A = this chain, B = another copy of it.
Amino acid sequence: MTFAENLIQLRIASQLEFIDLVTSLTDNLSALAGFDEDSVYSINMAVRESVANAVEHGNRYDPNKPVEITFMIGSANLSVSVRDHGEGFDPTSLPDPLDPSNLLNPAGRGILYMRSFMDNIEYERHPEGGMVVTMLKTRLEISGQTPTVADGGEKRQDAVGN
């Protein structure tokens, strides 16, 4: 089995109680990847919302369906993808939570928060079923403060640079 040196994958049963485990791991991983406190919070929010959606709307709380979270620590960003095993949905045809007639809806804001807190998010259907959302957060490079772990590209650069 081959794997990428900057990958971390977590797979949980569809239980709300497990979401905090995912976000704690996310916080530790974002810090390790060199993100500042604000970004750690933003990534946490987006991961929480996406995993909650996967459990609630995707897997419909079926505890025998897993949610898979894949983190990829890049030299310039962190990518997080969240996959469920549900029926999928069309993200382009959702009600707009900012439409005045929807403002008082008790739900429907999660994806908007994910978009606001991450630099990019993309939905696609997984070829073997279920939905995958991939979210990207870019790291603002602070000079002299490089992450200890990143993908091969950065490492090779370091090896040359130092």
Q: Which residue of B lies closest to A3 (CB)?
A: B66
When C-beta atoms are compared, the residue in chain B nearest to A66 turns out to be B3
Number of copies: 2
Do B21 and A25 touch (CB < 8 A)? yes
Closest to A67 in B: B3
Beyond A8-B18, A20-B28, A20-B32, 12 additional contacts (C-beta under 8 Å) are A1-B66, A1-B85, A2-B65, A3-B66, A5-B14, A5-B15, A7-B12, A10-B10, A11-B11, A17-B149, A18-B149, A21-B28
Q: CB distance B13 to A3 under 8 Å?
A: yes
A24 within 8 A of B: yes
Q: What 4 A-B pairs are tightest by C-beta distance, nearest first? A: A5-B63, A3-B66, A9-B11, A5-B13
Q: Is the interface of A mostly helix, strand, loop or mixed?
A: mixed
- Which interface class (under 10, 10 to 19, 20 to 34, 35 or more) fits A? 20 to 34
- Kindly list chain B residues whose C-beta atoms are within 8 Å of the C-beta of A8: 10-13, 18, 21
Q: For the complex, what is the distance from the CA of A30 to the CA of B132, rounded to whole Å?
A: 29
Q: Does A148 contact B (CB under 8 A)?
A: yes
A35-68 CB contacts (< 8 Å) to partner B: 63-66
| A-B CB contact pairs (8 Å), 28 listed | A1-B85, A2-B65, A3-B11, A3-B13, A3-B64, A4-B13, A5-B63, A6-B13, A7-B11, A7-B12, A7-B66, A8-B10, A8-B12, A8-B13, A8-B18, A9-B9, A9-B11, A9-B12, A10-B10, A10-B25, A11-B11, A17-B32, A17-B148, A18-B149, A21-B25, A21-B28, A21-B32, A25-B25
